[in-house]
Structure 1
Amino acid sequence: MQSKELIYRSLSEEIKRCFDFFPVITLTGPRQSGKTTICRELYPDLPYVNLEEIDTLNRIKEDPQSFFTNHPNGAIIDEAHHYPEIFSYIQVNVDEDIYQGKMDRKFIVTGSSNFALLEKVTQSMAGRTAVLTLLPLSQKELQQAGKKTDTDRLILNGGYPAVWKNETAREIIYRNYFTTYIERDVRSIINIKDLMPFQTFMRLCAGRIGTEFNASALSVAVGVSVPTINNWLSVLAASYTVYLLSPYHANIGKRLTKTPKLYFYDTGLATFLLGIENEEQLKTHPLRGELFENMVVNEMMKEGLNKGKEEHLYFYRDKTQREIDVIRMKALDLEAYEIKSGKSYNGDYYKQLKFFKDLLGDQVKRTAVIYDGETNNRDLINGLYNYRDFSLYDNKTL
């Protein structure tokens, strides 16, 4: 049963559903996004093992098979990326269970390193595990928990549960997250002796939210090579810190940009890196619009991932600077969304959406402006939504 002080996570239902079909659940996501909590709350009877504990890790490495023998009902294995080889042992044991007709042993494996974990899952666990991702709290989860979710507070706090548990400690929590977790992940993946250039790189990335990622410009600003910048970006992506939104490509006779846009998985961390300390500073910050856009794109990703689905999101920009913030692909169908941080509606907001609809015709099934105003219009074409009321899975689009 969900504890009163915990915020219910929308992914819970998908985790329970997947266990009806798979003996193993692989749960990825950023550090401190709530992976351990959701697993232990949903399955309190499963033994819990944390591979960040050195003694535990060494004990399992010395005799992996004994670990599985001693856990006949399964276990929650936390931070499994510290021992990726464990997936091979899980495979062997799960296959033997299936052969013996034993379907009651369940494993939940979590990890915060996207690349290290998923590489082993792909190699060892194909067909045996459901892979799910838990990102920080969504605004809908916070709203349902009764939290005050005015827009600037949502952007400033981000979605990490620890921040919403103690909002007055926001800056301390993010400083600790930055120094303890991100720097540790960086050192574990690549050998960096001097972290100062990397810290500069991260802060510069925060200042480029919602813009095309330019490795050459960052190389000059930080004073390192372009390959180093690209390597560092991969590290941040592997630890669920940043992601790139790819440009939409189609054979439509237009010269389209080929450079992806940069976003942070959590706007709270981005505001910390930008030195924004409170809502008043955020209200007048020149990047507030980009941070709002980042938050809305994150909400789209979270909505899909919480249903066990990976959304195919892109953006559109051509060489004449026509731009649409988000293009969503559903098989051969397209949806187009403009994101505006203001509270007022302007008919010009639909200009680029109309252009895109005229360009691709019936392939475009839904267009909408997502903003911070109060008026909603749920039409499939030229809809208008307050971001709190918007859903990719609106009944009209199913």
Structure 2
Amino acid sequence: MNNVLIPRMLRSQVEEHLALFPAVGILGPRQVGKTTLARAITDARAETSHGEPGRSEGGLYLDLENPADLSRLAEGSGYLDGVTDRLVVLDEIQRAPGLFRELRGIIDRRIRRGERAGQFLILGSASLDLLRQSGESLAGRIGYLELGPLDVREVEESRLLRLWSRGGFPPSFLAPSDGASALWRENFIRTYLERDIPQLGPRIPAQTLRRFWTMLAHSQGGLLNASQLAGSLAVDGKTIAKYVDLMVDLLLVRRLQPIHANVRKRLVKSPKIYLRDSGILHALLGIPSLDALLGHPVAGTSWEGFVIETLIRAAPDSLTPPGFYRTATGVEIDLILDVPGSLRWAIEVKRGLAPRVGKGFRIALEDVKADRAFVVYGGDDRYPVGGGVEVIGLRELATELAALVRE
């Protein structure tokens, strides 16, 4: 991944966290650029540390999937205690869960000595597992950031459709051809199924998990129907719940929960399921190119998931969990965000260039008491369509949401 594709704002956010916390955890799926980001930070520190007393250039990078690096940490506290003048990067730390207890002791001893924050940068691909392990041992000592695939704010406007088609994983997006991109994504899927997931613990046959992942792709944007999935895979509902939890934990699937407004209507209670990266979705469905995608029945829900994921990532971390609203009669809002200032934003997603606002969306706005309402579509212009609803392009709304972080 080219360093040009590492947003400067993200690097600054990591540095801000390192100034506050002894340890910072960066969560994200494999191949998304966590290592590149960490090396960019250590390289930048090396450039600014020349001649500064007590500071070594750059940082110490340890890949815990490398047996040599892992062996250096066999007695973690002894080795890491001696590294006091550099930022220590611990990549794929979920491979050494016992290290969290060692880090707690090291950090506490340094705090007592009055040493500065920003000692450890922790990278991991399994979010819930990493959060649980680090939360138990490093509570109050660690801050978190999530690094996702590239989104519309990080690529040129002219390449937005390529981003939607290929997804945001840099090797896929930057591949020299659609065929090379599809090949990379297929290998990415196989690596997760055959190597990464078994190493995390679950003993699930790769063929079974691939079928499950593909079934989720076919139901992109639909309500989670655990009993239907269970019947198709000949397992029980609890097993399906574990499979979904696993894919959510790996940051590959988003489980969007329904918002329960205080209305006298029968509301949907099941979450909606989206594959978080559109390129992986298309690979699982055998869609090789943008032309094939535009003529495929999944195009509408694929675009919906692409927009929703982009906006959730752009929104401030401090907001309440995102959700959707749907009644049993089909009155629906695709995405609801409660943003800072106690404001509720309601967002409808349309793929066409001449979006129409349906009656159901306007009824839903009254139900959820939305403060602002948007229709995100495939164009760039911004204009009102009555009733406080604005039609807006994806990049502009994502940029507006991201600006709330800095206010």
Please state how far the C-alpha of 1:54 moved relative to its aligned partner: 2.1
Deviation at 1:5, TM superposition (A): 5.3
Aligned residues: 386
Contact 2:17 2:24 in 1 (8 A): yes
**TM-score, normalisation: structure 2:** 0.88
Q: Paired residue for 2:53?
A: none
Write out per-residue CA displacement over residues 268-312 of structure 1, whole angstroms, 9 at most, x where no aligned residue: 0000000000111101100100000000011012213xx654662
CA 1:237–1:220 in 2, change beyond 3 Å: closer, same or farther?
A: same
Aligned to 2:89: 76
Instruction: Say if 2:377 is the partner of 1:371.
Output: yes
Corresponding position of 1:383:
390
Work out whether residues 18 and 118 of structure 2, in 8 Å CA contact, stay in contact via their aligned partners in 1: no
Say whether 1:333 aligns with 2:343: yes
Question: Do the aligned partners of residues 291 and 9 (structure 1) sit closer, same or farther apart at CA in structure 2, a change above 3 Å counting?
Answer: farther
Note the residue ranges of structure 2 that are not aligned, 5 or more in a row: 44-57
Q: 1:323 to 1:52 in 2, by over 3 A?
A: same
Deviation at 1:221, TM superposition (A): 1.9
Whether 2:370 is the aligned partner of 1:358: answer no
User: Please, which moves more after superposition, 372-381 or 287-296?
Assistant: 372-381
Q: Distance in 2 between matches of 1:138 and 1:219?
A: 33
Match of 2:98 in 1: 85
| 1:125 pairs with 2:132 | no
Task: Determine which of 318, 327, 334 is the counterpart of 2:327.
Answer: 318
Equivalent position to 1:65, from 71, 77, 80: 77
Matched residue of 1:20: which SS?
helix
Instruction: Go from structure 1 to structure 2 and tell me whether the alpha carbon gap of 1:167 and 1:298 turns closer, same or farther (over 3 Å shift).
Output: farther
Deviations 1:250-275 (A, max 9, x none): 32222111100001121100000000
C-alpha contact 2:21 2:118 (8 A) present in aligned 1? no
| Cα distance, 1:229 vs structure 2 | 1.6
CA–CA distance in 2 between the matches of 1:287 and 1:310?
A: 30
Contact kept? 1:350, 1:382, Cα under 8 Å: no
Q: Distance in 2 between matches of 1:263 and 1:311?
A: 19
Please point out which of 50, 62, 66 is paired with 1:53. 66
Kindly provide the amino acid, as one letter, of the partner of residue 372 in structure 2: R
Q: Deviations over 1:212-235 (max 9, x none)?
A: 011111112222222222111111
Closer/same/farther in 2, CA of residues 162 and 377 from structure 1, 3 Å limit: same
Q: 1:28 maps to what in 2?
A: 27
1:98 equivalent among 111, 114, 128: 111
In the TM superposition, what is the alpha-carbon distance from 1:336 to its structure 2 partner? 0.8
Residue 353 of structure 2 corresponds to which residue in structure 1?
A: 343
Q: Distance in 2 between matches of 1:299 and 1:393?
A: 10
Deviation at 1:78, TM superposition (A): 0.5
Partner of 2:47: none
C-alpha deviation, 1:378, in angstroms: 6.7
Q: 1:38–1:277: structure 2 CA closer, same or farther, 3 Å change rule?
A: same
Compared with structure 1, are the counterparts of its residues 232 and 255 closer, same or farther at alpha carbon in structure 2 (3 Å cutoff)? same
Structure 1 residues 75 and 373, CA gap change in structure 2 (3 angstroms)? same
| Aligned mates of 2:42, 2:3 — CA distance in 1 | 17
- 1:161, CA displacement in angstroms? 1.0
User: How far has the Cα of 1:139 moved from its partner?
Assistant: 1.3
CA offset digits 1:123-181 (Å, max 9, x no partner):
111221111110111111122xxx74142x22211000111232422111111111113
Query: In the TM superposition, what whole-angstrom CA distance separates every residue of 1:80-135 from its partner, at most 9, and x where no partner exists?
Result: 11112212222211111111111166110010011221001211112211111101
Change (3 A) 1:297 1:182: farther
Across the aligned residues of Structure 1 and Structure 2, the Cα RMSD in angstroms comes to 2.4
Which residue identity does 2:152 align to in structure 1? Q
Alignment of 1:1-398 (within 5 A): 6-8=5-7, 10-44=9-43, 45-61=58-74, 63-73=75-85, 74-103=87-116, 106-143=119-156, 148-151=158-161, 153-168=162-177, 169-192=180-203, 194-304=205-315, 308-309=317-318, 312-330=321-339, 332-346=342-356, 349-361=357-369, 364-377=370-383, 381-391=388-398, 392-393=400-401
